[in-house]
Chain A
Amino acid sequence: MKILVAIKRVIDANVRVQLKRDGSGIVTDGVKMSINPFDEIALEEALRIRESGKDAEIVAVSIGSDASQQQLRTALAMGADRALLVKTDGEVQPLHAAHTLLAVIRKEQPDLVLMGKQAIDDDSNQTGQMLAALWQRPQATFTSKLDLDSDKASCTREVDAGLETIEVDLPAVVTTDLRLNQPRYVKMPDIMKAKRKPLDTIGLTELGTPELPKLEITAYEAPQGRAGGGKKVGNAAELVAALKERGVL
């Protein structure tokens, strides 16, 4: 089988995000970038599927500038067989990403597409669902357990009400949640091997995605601090009363 894993380059989760002084965006120069952690979980799942004995080819795909090659190299070092960068220097919103991935899917014909449930930069949580809709295939979002059969998959989803299980026919899009697995560490010899694995680049325009609507971002701002410094109550009974007053009990 063939598994396509979509990977986004994002500001590393450990970095304290800072706004540009003129409010025109987020500071990214000189900032540590990484594979979106949920995408890393998606890749790990693909590797585990292959290691469980399935004959699987794993293709890592990213959409972004040349710098995203760094994350694709990491994906190759983790164990992906080959990588594809769809190159663009522009902003890529989820709908655009979904159409772009659809174009890649048309070429690659994967049996399974794995990606993170959301990217930790824009937190949109949209691309996987959009891709599934455009591809007219099933989606399993928030997946915390994945069991593959030959032509279908059982997916346990972490939903607000608990753990939901659905069964989807393949091919399908599965988006991954935190508890699906814990990604492996990249090993030094594998970093060296990854330098020789194929990493192809194709221009975004060459894929011929249609003109798409997008959100216009008009301002960036820091979150407002909590008003806090709220009232002090004297005892437990007063606390319960105050909670009732706020409508949280």
Chain B
Amino acid sequence: MAKILLIAEHDGQSLNPATAKAVSCAQAIGGDLDIAVFASSAGAVAEKASKFEGVARVLTVERPENEAPLASVLAPQIAALAADYTHVLLPSTTFGKDVMPRVAALLGVAPISDIMTVIDPTTFKRPIYAGNAIVTVKAPAEPLVLGTARTASFQPAAEGGSADIVAKQLDVELPTHTRYVGLKSGGGDRPDLQSASRVVSGGRGVGSEENFQIIYKLADKLNAAVGASRAAVDAGFVPNEMQVGQTGKIIAPELYVAVGISGAIQHCTGIKDAGTIVAINKDPDAPIFEMADIGLVGDLFEVLPELEKALDARA
């Protein structure tokens, strides 16, 4: 039976939501699941990790060097811990993508990036060519299977468990050639379009550069990044950096709100992997409604202010 080690992603205080999704991926593989928390002080994070249903143990590895998430520091520790496991998983975030291959090289394993479907404990589906094709890959079972779980493909695992929290000491020499300096978070700025979990995009229907303010306002309300269709870029409403689609950015946020976007195929290829797509358009025949999960037919200049109010009411 599989014995899975999942590496928690956290910022020292709280668990990154991507971890909960990786737990679901682990559950799809099946077997015993341990979660490892590498930190200078793991308390709150370990506590939270212990709450997922179906987790056997939470292992904490506390060292001052684990204060910041440095791949070169974490990888040898993970490699040491991995010896007892058949599988090691990380979330497919910039953290997981940074760390996982370094572990793989230390263990001499051919790993799987961006697991989107678990077929059996050694067979997985993953996207290639920016999601334009899907491959099924079979990984050697020995010495172990290592991969990252694509966050857009898994729902967060349910809570309700209470796993044991076990402190681990690892006798591993750590390099000092890499030093953490600091993190400048998005702060007051909007999240980056490429990596944001929520995106609000405007199209030609928005009408003008000035009108685009209404898109920014909704985005701020949702803590979302702002994108645009090529038509909106061509019309000069917004700069090209904001373009989403075939000739712009290919994105996969959890929530994508398309406002005044007709849904040309060029645009749709850029968002087809989004979690939930919401379309707001006054033309009920707009193709965007064919791919949207939730559609609202209406004038965006009436709908958006109402939507902001409804979001406020929720809070």
Known: A17-B129, A121-B129. A133 touches B101 (CB 8 A): yes
Whether A223 contacts B94 by the Cβ 8 Å rule is no
B182 near A137: Cβ-Cβ < 8 Å: no
Question: Does B235 have its Cβ within 8 Å of any Cβ on chain A?
Answer: no
A98: chain B residues at CB < 8 Å are 105
Given A138-B72, A213-B109, A236-B303, the answer on whether A94 and B101 have CB atoms closer than 8 Å is yes
Establish whether residues A213 and B140, one from each chain, have CB atoms under 8 Å apart when the complex forms. yes
Q: Who on chain A is nearest to B304 by CB?
A: A236
Total residues of chain A contacting the partner, CB 8 A: 83
Which A residue sits closest to B148, measured CB to CB?
A: A125
CB B120 to nearest CB in A, in angstroms, measures 11
Instruction: Tell me the dominant secondary structure on chain A's binding face.
Output: mixed
Instruction: Please report the C-alpha to C-alpha distance between residue A155 and residue B289 in the assembled complex, in whole angstroms.
Output: 43
The answer to whether B102 touches A239 (Cβ under 8 A) is no
Determine how close the nearest CB of chain B comes to the CB of A161; give it in whole angstroms. Answer: 6
**Which of A121, A123, A132 is close to B72, meaning CB atoms less than 8 Å apart?**
A132
Which of B156, B181, B276, B294 lies in contact with A154, CB distance below 8 A?
B181
Give B255 Cβ to nearest chain A Cβ, in Å: 5
Indicate whether A95 sits within 8 Å of B105 (C-beta atoms), given known contacts A121-B129, A122-B128.
yes
Given contacts A17-B129, A235-B306, A243-B255, contact A248 B290 (CB under 8 A): no
Report the Cα distance A78→B131, complex, angstroms: 30
- Assess A213 versus B110: contact at CB under 8 Å? Given A123-B129, A236-B310: yes
Does A1 lie at the interface of the complex (its beta carbon under 8 Å from any beta carbon of B)?
A: no
With CB as the reference atom, state the residue of chain B lying closest to A221.
B134
Instruction: Give the contact stretch, choosing among A43-51, A192-200, A225-233.
Output: A225-233
A150, CB-defined interface residue at 8 Å: no
* Given A132-B72, A236-B310, A164 contacting B183 (CB threshold 8 A): yes
Is A120 an interface position by the 8 A CB rule? yes
Contact with B along A192-228 (1 / 0, CB 8 A): 0000000000000000000011111111111101111
CA of A16 to CA of B265, assembled, Å: 12
Q: Is the CB of B289 within 8 A of A123?
A: no
Choose from A14, A158, A230 the contact partner of B94 (Cβ within 8 Å): A158
* A contact set with B: CB distance below 8 Å: 11, 14, 16-17, 19, 26, 93-95, 98, 120-134, 136-142, 154, 157-169, 172, 178, 212-223, 225-240, 242-244, 246-249
Give 13 A-B pairs besides A121-B129, A139-B102 with Cβ atoms closer than 8 angstroms: A123-B127, A129-B105, A139-B71, A160-B93, A166-B180, A178-B194, A223-B273, A228-B293, A230-B293, A232-B296, A237-B313, A243-B255, A243-B278
3 tightest A-B CB contacts, nearest first: A129-B101, A236-B306, A133-B105
Residues of B within 8 A of A (CB): 11, 16, 70-72, 75, 93-95, 97-106, 108-114, 123, 127-140, 155-156, 175, 177-187, 192, 194-195, 198, 247, 254-255, 272-273, 275-278, 289-298, 303, 306-307, 309-311, 313-314
